[in-house]
A and B are shown apart, each in its own frame.
Chain A
Amino acid sequence: MENDGKRRLVFVTVGTTSFDALVKAVVSQNVKDELHKRGYTHLLIQMGRGTYSPTKCDGEDGSLSVDYFTFSSSIADYIRSASLVISHAGSGSIFETLKLGKPLIVVVNEDLMDNHQCELAEELEERKHLYCARPLTLHQTLMKMELESLVRYTPGDGTPVAKIIDRFLGFPDD
C-alpha cells in the first residue's frame, strides 16, 4: 500500500504508567521502515511516565513523522483519528480501540509482576479481534499483519448482569 498523500496515523499508547520497552520498539528502525512501507505517514506516541524520549521527526523528507507526548485527557480522539493503534495490554485501551473499530496491536509488558494482562490480549487474538506481540516481536507481528483478516469486535454490555441482580432482589422483569 503506497502513501497517496493522505495522513495515516499510527497511535501508540502506554496508558497511565510507563512502558519504555514499547516506545523503544516502535521507534526502532525496522519497525519504522515497516510502518512506512505499509503507507503510514505519522507516528504519535503517548509515552506516559516513561523516561525514554524518542527523537522527533517532522517527516518532511518523505519519511515517517514521529512525535510524542506524555498524557492527554482525550486519548479517545487520538484513537479515532488513527489508522492503526499500538497499545499496552490494559483492558481500558484495548476495548476503547476495539469499540471504535480500529486495527490494534497489543504489546504485552513482560516486566510486570502479575502478568495476567496477556490473558486478555491472547484470548482476543485467538478470536481475531487484534494482534498480540511482545516488544521484541513487534516487528515480526507487523510483517505478518493482515488487516483484512481481523474480525470486528461486537461490544457487550451489562444487561445479563443487571437482569440477574434485579431478579435476585425481587424486582419484576421489565
Chain B
Amino acid sequence: MEEHHCCFYSKMLSKFSFGSFLIILSLFLMFRLLYVLYRCGKPFPKGASTSFSTLIVLGSGGHTAEMLSLLSVLRMDRYTPRFYIAAATDNMSLHKARSFEDSLAHKPSAVKESSLQYAQIYRSREVGQSYVTSVWTTLVAIVHALWLMIRIRPQVILCNGPGTCIPLCGIAFLFKVLGIRWSSIFYVESVARVKKLSLSGLLLYKLRMADQFFVQWPHLQKQYPRAHYVGCLM
C-alpha cells in the first residue's frame, strides 16, 4: 500500500514538475521575445566591438550588384570574418563576391583567406515549381539554413532580398529569442522597388525583424516611416 502511495506521489511530482517546467519555459520565451522586440533597432553603445562577424546574403543579378556596391564603401576591417551565402541555383553571385574580395586583397585592411567563407543555400521554391513538391523542398531548405546558421552564428546580417534571406533572418531572430546569438539585421530594399516593397522586405519590416531598414526611393519612405531613405545604391 505504501509503495503504491509512493509511486502515486512520484507520478504527481513528475507531472507537476513537467507542467511547471513548461510554464516556466514559455514564460521565459515570452519574456525573451518581448525583450528582443524591445531591443531590436536600438543602437549599440560607442565602441561596442572592433569587428563583427558578418553574413552577407547575395540575391542574384541586380541584387548582388547592389550589395557589392554597399560592401565597396563599408570599412571591411569592421565586418570580419565574412560569410557569403547565395542560392544554389545562382552560380554568378559567389563568383562576383570572390572577385570583389580579391580586389580587396591588396588593401592594408585585407583579411586572411581563412576568415572568408562562401556557401550556397537551397531555395524553398523554384520559379514554376508545384506547391505539393515545394512542401518537401521548403523543409529541406529550412534544415539546410539552420545547419548553416548554427555553424556561422553571425553578429551582423546584410541582406537585400529576394526570398533567400527570409529563412536565414527567421533563424537569426530565433537565435536572439533563445539567447544563442545576438545579431543585427540590416535590410536594403532593392532599387527596383519604387512604389511597393518586395515580399521579403514587407515581412522583415512588418515583423520588425530588421534592425535597420533602408529604401532607395522617397515614396517608399513615406509609406514605411521606420525605413531610412538613402538614395540609389547604383
Given that A92-B62, A166-B75, A172-B46 are known contacts, is A158 also in contact with B192, CB under 8 Å in the complex?
Answer: no
- Would you mind naming 5 contact pairs between A and B with Cβ atoms under 8 Å apart? A156-B233, A158-B233, A159-B73, A165-B74, A170-B44
Contact of B194 among A99, A123, A167 (CB under 8 A): A123
A80 CB to closest chain B CB (Å) equals: 17
Chain A residue numbers with a CB within 8 Å of B232 are: 155-156
Number of interface residues of B (CB under 8 A): 44
Chain B residue numbers with a CB within 8 Å of A119 are: 192-196
Asked whether A160 lies within 8 Å of B230 as measured between CB atoms, the reply is: yes
Contact with B along A142-169 (1 / 0, CB 8 A): 0000000000000111111110111111
Asked whether A15 lies within 8 Å of B49 as measured between CB atoms, the reply is: no
Residue of A nearest to B231 (CB): A156
Chain B residue numbers with a CB within 8 Å of A174 are: 75
Chain A residue numbers with a CB within 8 Å of B211 are: 168
Asked whether B191 lies within 8 Å of A169 as measured between CB atoms, the reply is: no
CA A174 – CA B78 in complex, angstroms?
A: 13
CA A91 – CA B232 in complex, angstroms?
A: 11
Number of interface residues of A (CB under 8 A): 31
Asked whether A120 lies within 8 Å of B188 as measured between CB atoms, the reply is: no
Residue of A nearest to B233 (CB): A158
Chain A residue numbers with a CB within 8 Å of B188 are: 161
Asked whether B234 lies within 8 Å of A166 as measured between CB atoms, the reply is: no
Contact of A169 among B48, B73, B193, B196 (CB under 8 A): B48
Q: Could you tell me which residues of chain B, from 203 to 234, have a CB within 8 Å of some CB in chain A?
A: 211-212, 214, 216-217, 228, 230-234
Chain B residue numbers with a CB within 8 Å of A165 are: 74, 158, 186, 212
Chain B residue numbers with a CB within 8 Å of A52 are: none
Interface of B is mostly: loop
Asked whether A116 lies within 8 Å of B46 as measured between CB atoms, the reply is: no
Residue of B nearest to A89 (CB): B192
Asked whether B156 lies within 8 Å of A156 as measured between CB atoms, the reply is: no
Residue of A nearest to B214 (CB): A161
Asked whether B43 lies within 8 Å of A167 as measured between CB atoms, the reply is: yes
Residue of A nearest to B196 (CB): A116
Asked whether B234 lies within 8 Å of A95 as measured between CB atoms, the reply is: yes
**Interface flag for B80 (CB, 8 Å):** no
18 other contacts beyond A157-B73, A169-B49, with CB at 8 A cut-off? A90-B62, A91-B61, A91-B62, A91-B192, A95-B65, A119-B193, A119-B195, A120-B194, A123-B194, A156-B233, A158-B71, A158-B230, A164-B230, A166-B78, A168-B184, A168-B186, A170-B45, A171-B78
Asked whether A15 lies within 8 Å of B230 as measured between CB atoms, the reply is: no
CA A38 – CA B27 in complex, angstroms?
A: 73
**Interface flag for A65 (CB, 8 Å):** no
